[in-house]
Each structure stands twice: as C-alpha cells, then as structure tokens.
C-alpha cells in the first residue's frame, strides 16, 4: 500500500489525466462490444484478442520501418476482414443460440488467437515506438507522453466518424433497425445476415484501431487480451447498451480507477482490481435489480 497519491496532489493530477486518456481508448473498444451485443446479442470474449492482434499489425509496420501511426489506418482494414472471416466461420452458427454457447465459442476463439499470436510473434512484451516525445504540464510536475494524447484524439475521431456513419448511411440505418427488431427488419427487406457480418467486421475494425493505438502508447503481449474484454464488458454494463455518452464517461472513470489502483495497491494488483471491480459492479447491479423486482411485486 502506498498513499503517496494523497500526499502529493500532483500525482493525483497525473493519475487522473493518464486515466482519462487511457479510458478513452477503453471506451472505443467498449463501443464495439456494445455494438455487437446490441445488434447480435453476443458477448465476444475474443474482443481483447482482436485488440492485441490489431496491435501486432501496427507493431509489424514499425518493425519494417513504417511509422506505427499509419497502423491506425491499415490495421482496421485488415481487422475488418478478419472479423468477417470469424463471423462466417463461427459466429453465424451461434448467433441465435443460447448466450452461454456464444460465450464458450468466443472463449475458444480467444484461446486459439492467443496461442497463434504466441507462435507467430513470440511471447515478448513489445511496443511500437512512435517518437512523439512528451508534454510537460504544471511546472514540469505532470508528464504526458504525446502518444497518449494522439491516441485519445484518434479514438475520439473514429468514434465521431462511426456515430455519423451509423446515423447517415444506409448500412448504419440497417444495423440500427436490426438491433431494434431483427424480425421486423428482415420483413422490411434488410439482409440481416449481411448486417451481422458487417457489424462484426466493424467491431473488429474498431478493435484494430484501438490495438494499433495501444501498441503505440502502451505495450502488447499475446496473453493480455482477456483484461480488455473484461474492461469493455464492464463499461457496457455500467453505461447500458446504446448509451454513447455513458460509454465514454464510464470508460474514463474506469481508466482513472485503474491508475489510482495502480498507485495505491501496486502494479501487481492492477489487473486483479479490475476483475474484482467487475464482480462488485455485477453484485451491486444484482441487488439494485432485485430491489426493483420487489418494488414491482
């Protein structure tokens, strides 16, 4: 336990800013999760592994001498097709089945991806160095890497683009219609199969963007996927489906929580605290809902 955070206010400021910038990234991943959950009623455990795969694409561009920031453009394009391939091979067979089946199936995909990445890229912790330098704030007391600011900016940009696309384009409208009522959408001539594939592809592409940004700002490792899945799941259940400002806010909140947990409990308990928070939130939600049920009775 370390209470330096409370003795030196500047560290709190640092933790808050770090957390907010990190949280925006989480919110981007969570948006993808909310999208497929809302449209297809699927919880994708492999979400985090898609993120890591997207990160490796950017990392490989960095290895071959291309600036990793271009990964933000290349990685979603590749990941879109990876997502569609996963949908065609596995997801379309579980989409209208029991939710537990889809959880287990995506768990299998997650293990598969984890191991394939481990074979292909090795078990080292890697990062793509962007050489963006740092920004000093408040008399040099707070240090912010420019890469984090860049990643937050890009995430917001992608989120805005996606929201506009969902509102305006034909496919976006079809996706929203399917989310509201798949059967009615089918009757009105929407090819739901295509919509599902596109949704999963868009989700994978979002994961690709987030992964590329994570490989620039943080580190990636084949086994680091599951925490990202859990974080995005947590953000979605706090915010609720289809509540975009809520997703952004709870993403930032989670980021700040994690930074403080890191400072106070120590880095070794960081992931553990995320998972514990998930359990606590679900339990809190359960008691809240059961009160509501009694009220209804």
Partner 1 sequence: MNKNNLLLYSGILIFGIAAPFLLPAFKVQLSILCVLIVLATTWNIQGGEMGYNSFGNILFYGLGMYLCASVQVGMFFPLAEWTESGGEKTFVHTPAQFFQGMAVGLIVAAVVPTIVAGLIGYSILGLRGHYFAICTLGLGVAAGEISGGIEIIGAGQGFTTPPFPDVGSLESRGEFFYFLSFFVLILTFIAVRGIYTTRFKLILNAIRDNEDKAEAMGIQTMKYKIVGWMISAFFCGLAGGIMGGLVGYIDSTDVAFDGREMGVFMVLMAILGGKGTLWGPIIGATVFHIFKEGFWTFFLGWQYVALGVLIVVIVIYFPEGIMGWLREKYPERFGEVVDEKDRKAQVELK
Length of the chain: 297
- In the complex, minimum distance from the CB of residue 44 to partner 1, in angstroms, rounded to a whole number: 11
Hey, is 130 helix, strand or coil?
coil
In this complex, which beta carbon is closest to partner 1, that of residue 74 or of residue 239? Answer: 239
Give how far Cα 292 sits from Cα of 243, 262, 285, Å.
Answer: 21, 35, 11
In this complex, which beta carbon is closest to partner 1, that of residue 92 or of residue 146? Answer: 92
Other CB atoms within a 10 A radius of the CB of residue 272 amount to 11
Each residue 77-106 as x (binds partner 1 by CB under 8 A) or -, in order, gives -------------x--xx--xxxxx-xxx-
Q: Which of 119, 138, 153, 165 binds partner 1 (CB under 8 A)?
A: 119
- In the complex, minimum distance from the CB of residue 245 to partner 1, in angstroms, rounded to a whole number: 23
State the SS3 of 226-266. HHHHHHHHHHHHHHCCCCHHHHHHHHHHHHHHHHHHHHHHC
Beta bridge partners of 36: none
First to last CA, the chain: 45
- In the complex, minimum distance from the CB of residue 10 to partner 1, in angstroms, rounded to a whole number: 27
- In the complex, minimum distance from the CB of residue 96 to partner 1, in angstroms, rounded to a whole number: 13
Q: Which of 5, 142, 171, 278 binds partner 1 (CB under 8 A)?
A: 278
In this complex, which beta carbon is closest to partner 1, that of residue 111 or of residue 156? Answer: 111
Rule CB under 8 A: is residue 8 a binding residue for partner 1?
A: no
Sign of CA dihedral 28, 29, 34, 36: positive
- In the complex, minimum distance from the CB of residue 49 to partner 1, in angstroms, rounded to a whole number: 10
Contact between 35 and 203 under an 8 Å Cβ cutoff? The reply is yes
Binding positions for partner 1, 237-276, rule CB under 8 A: 237, 266, 268-269, 271-272, 275-276
Rg of the chain over Cα atoms, rounded to whole angstroms, equals: 20
User: How far is 218 from 21, CA to CA, in rounded Å?
Assistant: 12
Contact between 216 and 127 under an 8 Å Cβ cutoff? The reply is yes
Size of the site for partner 1 (CB under 8 A): 43
| DSSP state, residue 145 | E
Please identify, among the stretches 10-18, 63-71, 115-123, 213-221, the one whose residues bind partner 1 according to the rule CB under 8 A.
115-123
- In the complex, minimum distance from the CB of residue 251 to partner 1, in angstroms, rounded to a whole number: 18
- In the complex, minimum distance from the CB of residue 270 to partner 1, in angstroms, rounded to a whole number: 8
| DSSP state, residue 88 | I
Which residues of this protein are in contact with partner 1, per CB under 8 A? 43, 90, 93-94, 97-101, 103-105, 107-116, 118-119, 226, 230, 233, 237, 266, 268-269, 271-272, 275-276, 278-279, 282-283, 285-287, 290
């Amino acid at each position: 336990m370390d209470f330096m955070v409370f003795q030196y206010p500047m560290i709190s400021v640092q933790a808050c800013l770090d957390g907010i910038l990190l949280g925006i990234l989480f919110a981007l991943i969570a948006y993808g999760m909310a999208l497929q959950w809302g449209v297809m009623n699927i919880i994708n455990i492999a979400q985090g592994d898609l993120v890591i795969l997207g990160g490796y694409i950017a990392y490989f561009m960095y290895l071959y001498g291309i600036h990793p920031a271009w990964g933000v453009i290349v990685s979603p394009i590749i990941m879109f097709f990876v997502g569609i391939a996963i949908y065609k091979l596995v997801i379309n067979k579980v989409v209208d089945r029991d939710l537990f089946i889809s959880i287990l199936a995506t768990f299998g995909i997650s293990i598969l991806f984890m191991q394939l990445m481990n074979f292909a890229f090795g078990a080292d912790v890697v990062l793509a160095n962007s050489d963006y330098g740092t920004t000093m704030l408040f008399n040099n007391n707070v240090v912010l890497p420019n890469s984090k600011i860049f990643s937050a900016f890009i995430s917001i940009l992608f989120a805005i683009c996606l929201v506009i696309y969902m509102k305006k384009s034909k496919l976006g409208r079809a996706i929203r219609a399917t989310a509201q009522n798949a059967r009615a959408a089918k009757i009105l001539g929407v090819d739901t199969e295509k919509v599902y594939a596109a949704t999963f592809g868009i989700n994978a592409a979002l994961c690709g963007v987030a992964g590329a940004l994570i490989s620039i700002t943080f580190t990636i490792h084949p086994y680091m996927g599951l925490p990202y899945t859990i974080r995005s799941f947590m953000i979605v259940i706090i915010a609720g489906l289809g509540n975009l400002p809520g997703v952004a806010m709870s993403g930032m909140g989670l980021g700040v929580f994690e930074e403080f947990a890191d400072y106070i409990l120590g880095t070794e308990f960081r992931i553990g605290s995320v998972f514990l928070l998930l359990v606590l939130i679900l339990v809190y939600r359960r008691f809240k809902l059961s009160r509501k049920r009694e009220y209804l009775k």
